[in-house]
Chains A and B, each alone.
Chain A
Amino acid sequence: MAKDKMVPVPSNSIVPERDVDKTPILETHHLGIDFGGLTAVDELTLAVGRTEIAGLIGPNGAGKTTVFNLLTNVYQPTRGTIMLDGKSTARKNTEQVNRMGIARTFQNIRLFSNMSVLDNVKVGLHNSIKQPLISSITRLFGYRASEKKSRDEAMELLKFFKMEDMANHQAGSLPYGAQRRLEIARALATHPGIILLDEPAAGMNPSETAELMENIRRIRDNFNIAVMLIEHDMNLVMNICEGICVLDHGKVIAKGTPEEIKSNPKVIEAYLGKKKEAK
């Protein structure tokens, strides 16, 4: 995991073709979950490389967000296993899974809207800042050092997303695009090995989407982590993802590179429906 690496890279160094570390950080084997009689996800087997940008696509109701909820143990899977960096995440709760290295954002933005932008990121840094209760209360015993460290790290992350001038704004009052970026910054603050983005481009205009694509690449390149995203914007998915997995009705119908997915007849069928037989 890229714990302390936050070396700024000049933006022209971002090239579409780069060596992607394909050794898996996240693997699932025959993952499945039932809600009562309904099988929401079934037989999901996939692997995400260490510095890969992976896409999870599918029509509405295909079970994409359910997969994210399974990966972060919001739901406990009925079948199958999830391996993070070779370790199983079974019987862990969301908070422990985050500490193991999975961070996420939400489809409907979930910020700490009454807190400042800076504090939102500081909350993300929670587990990497050592500050025992006694020093919280007395403001002694290394309080200043730990607060300074969390402030500096949070500001650095905000700078990464060009949000440093908004640091003292209330998170809930930010414009929509900035809220999305803040949510990603907060997730990155937990020093994850993989970040899951749930529809990061939802509700964005083309120029915002282009900026987001740039940001996602920068996240991968600067932090050396894997990114997995759910998205309906095919332009974004086909442009930045190195591997794509297509879900329909909870089952994987195709896996591969963007080119393979584009030409896969099953994918076209899932999105556009079957061609009717000529009468």
Chain B
Amino acid sequence: MNKTRKLSKFTLTNIKCYGMIIVAFAVLYPMLKMNMISNKISGLLIPICAYIVMAISLNLTVGFLGELSLGHAGFMSVGAFSGVITVACMQSGLPAPVKLLAAIIIGGIMAGILGLIIGIPVIRLKGDYLAIVTLAFGEIIKNIINCLYIGVDGSGLHFSMKSAEALNLSDGKIILNGPQGAVGVSKIATFFAGVLLILFALFVVLNLVNSKTGRAVTAIRDNRIAAESVGINITKYKLTAFIISAVIAGMAGALYGLNFSTIAAKKFDFNTSILILVFVVLGGMGNIPGTIIATTLLYMLPEMLRQFSDYRMLIYAIVLILVMLATNSPRAKVFANKIVGIFKKNNETDGEGDVSNG
């Protein structure tokens, strides 16, 4: 009679994640179309989407691979500028969604290539050393893009590390103007595309975690020596997870970059990396639904606190500390378990589970 099979943990996480995003979209999208959301909030929607994707991507590195990466904004940056350049190089006649898709794909590929280049030396390191080196790489990427001049004309792309004049453009336009960043970007990112990208990132990460590859990655996190002893190629799986994480971050970057008319490299600095890390840590390492909620709330919070003007960041910090205390205190855990217990009751009493479905 046990028709309704017990939902596995995997299915449950999936329902939570996809459900959350789809419900949020179903509520917000009509409101957005009918102009029921204030400009302030609607302007936040796409960045939130991009940051949720970033947090999901970083959770793969920090939560599942167990390595602290402090340079994740670097991948976002590469994705953003590759995306902007892609769009600038494409014919203006093409429809915006096609351009956006191409930008996101190219952004992901470029970030993936960078992830491979950085990953090969970085993955050999452990713990704090890995964190420090990724931090350095993040800064290096920022500084390189800061002095990069890129222009396009009839004969193709022109690169220079000196100045805009050195590009020798005949009639084209400058895409990336050194420290000023990219100006005159076509704002083609949409909320709909953002939600699709979140769903894509969820699909990749959640499936990966529950597969042979994911088990190998988690095994390496839990006990590297034991993982080696059962024949798991440590370097291969660490690198795989790192590159996938970079690709998703690049895609998020492309979406983010195409949401603003100007975008500069200094936006993707150390603080951005830390911000994403805060989302992941407060959402729960290895906890994707938690990460999504944490990102949304923590990204909105500073905007909501604008009325406190000067005290904004102070209140933000206090809220962060309170959240940390609440999630770590044993009493709060007991309370949370009680609530979870009410829902789980029918799962534990195996046979009678069908009758009293809460």
Binary contact readout A100-118 vs B (1 if CB under 8 angstroms, 0 otherwise):
0001101000111111000
B230 within 8 Å of A by Cβ? yes
B212 touches A126 (CB 8 A): yes
B153 within 8 Å of A by Cβ? no
A166 to chain B, nearest CB (A): 15
A72 within 8 Å of B by Cβ? yes
Within 8 A of A (CB), among B201-247: 203-204, 207-208, 211-216, 218-219, 222-223, 225-234, 240
Nearest to A93 among chain B residues (CB) is B228
Given contacts A136-B208, A137-B204, A137-B207, is CB(A123)–CB(B214) below 8 Å? no
CA distance A143 to B216 in the complex (A): 16
A103 touches B229 (CB 8 A): yes
A98 touches B213 (CB 8 A): no
- Which of B226, B227, B231 has the most chain A CB within a 10 Å cutoff? B231
Q: Which chain B residues border A106 with CB–CB below 8 Å?
A: 225-226, 229
CA distance A124 to B216 in the complex (A): 9
B222 touches A186 (CB 8 A): no
Q: Which chain B residues border A150 with CB–CB below 8 Å?
A: 212
B211 touches A112 (CB 8 A): no
B230 touches A126 (CB 8 A): yes
Given contacts A112-B219, A115-B222, is CB(A146)–CB(B229) below 8 Å? no
Q: Which chain B residues border A129 with CB–CB below 8 Å?
A: 212
Q: Which chain B residues border A260 with CB–CB below 8 Å?
A: none
Given contacts A136-B208, A136-B213, is CB(A110)–CB(B230) below 8 Å? no
Q: Which chain B residues border A99 with CB–CB below 8 Å?
A: 231
Among candidates A112, A136, A137, A139, residue contacting B222 with C-beta atoms closer than 8 Å: A112
CA distance A135 to B212 in the complex (A): 10
Q: Which chain B residues border A122 with CB–CB below 8 Å?
A: 212, 215
CA distance A146 to B210 in the complex (A): 13
- Which of A113, A124, A150 has the most chain B CB within a 10 Å cutoff? A124
Interface of B, helix, strand, loop or mixed by DSSP: helix
B329 to chain A, nearest CB (A): 21
Q: Which chain B residues border A114 with CB–CB below 8 Å?
A: 218, 222
A103 to chain B, nearest CB (A): 7
B207 touches A136 (CB 8 A): yes
Q: Which chain B residues border A186 with CB–CB below 8 Å?
A: 226, 230
B29 to chain A, nearest CB (A): 27
Nearest to A135 among chain B residues (CB) is B211
B230 touches A187 (CB 8 A): yes
B48 to chain A, nearest CB (A): 25
CA distance A95 to B222 in the complex (A): 16
A136 touches B214 (CB 8 A): yes
Nearest to A143 among chain B residues (CB) is B211
Q: Which chain A residues border B212 with CB–CB below 8 Å?
A: 122, 126, 129, 131, 136, 146, 150
A111 touches B223 (CB 8 A): yes
Q: Which chain B residues border A224 with CB–CB below 8 Å?
A: none
CA distance A72 to B211 in the complex (A): 27
CA distance A129 to B214 in the complex (A): 13
B213 touches A112 (CB 8 A): no
Q: Which chain A residues border B204 with CB–CB below 8 Å?
A: 137
A110 touches B225 (CB 8 A): yes
Q: Which chain B residues border A113 with CB–CB below 8 Å?
A: 222-223
Q: Which chain A residues border B208 with CB–CB below 8 Å?
A: 136-137
CA distance A66 to B226 in the complex (A): 16
Within 8 A of B (CB), among A206-262: none
A201 to chain B, nearest CB (A): 20
Among candidates A74, A96, A123, A136, residue contacting B227 with C-beta atoms closer than 8 Å: A123
Question: Which are the 9 A-B pairs with shortest beta-carbon distances?
Answer: A136-B211, A98-B231, A112-B222, A110-B226, A131-B212, A136-B213, A94-B228, A123-B219, A127-B231
**Contacts A/B (CB < 8 Å), 18 sampled:** A74-B225, A95-B231, A98-B229, A110-B223, A111-B222, A112-B222, A112-B226, A115-B215, A115-B219, A123-B216, A123-B219, A123-B232, A126-B231, A133-B213, A137-B204, A137-B207, A137-B211, A189-B230
